[in-house]
Amino acid sequence: MSNYSCIACNPPIIIELAHTIPDMTKILYTASLLLLAGTLHAQQALPAKLNLQGSFAGSPIVLKLNNNKQQITGTSEHKKVKRPLKGTASATEEGYTLHLKEPGDNPYDGQFHMIYNPVTKEARGWWKANNQPTWDTIKYTLKAQP
């Protein structure tokens, strides 16, 4: 018997294959394991509460999010300005795509678009102002905090 394991999987997946299976079949099993690993990672649950922190346009930002599986709500805090957020999340191969919107009644309000990876606990994305078409789009990477 030969053991094949998916090193990207958590917990690890091990499949025992008999030596009589042709090499091509072994390769196909290995490829299937890798695809399964990506699917398992993408299906890890989005936490009910998510606290994301990082740098945003050169200053610290904190997003505190609540996931009730119907919608995402929470707040963004940047340069001592705290704004409500509301949006959606959907599962993808990379993790979860989040679209979050500030209300729009403040000239600095905008929309956050990101992909949250539950394995690395990182969110990468961009922000665009709601009512300031001449402002640049801001790219960011945020890290989940306990």
What is the chain's pLDDT, residue by residue, as a tens digit (146 residues)?
555 555 555 555 555 555 555 555 555 555 454 444 554 444 688 999 999 999 999 999 999 999 998 899 999 999 999 999 999 999 998 899 999 999 999 989 999 999 999 999 999 999 999 988 888 999 999 999 98
Q: Where are the domains of the chain?
A: 2-42, 49-145
In single-letter form, the type of residue at position 38 comes to G
Q: Which residues contact 83 (CB under 8 A, 6 or more apart)?
A: 75, 76, 77, 102, 103, 106, 108, 109
- What class is the 49-145 domain? mainly beta
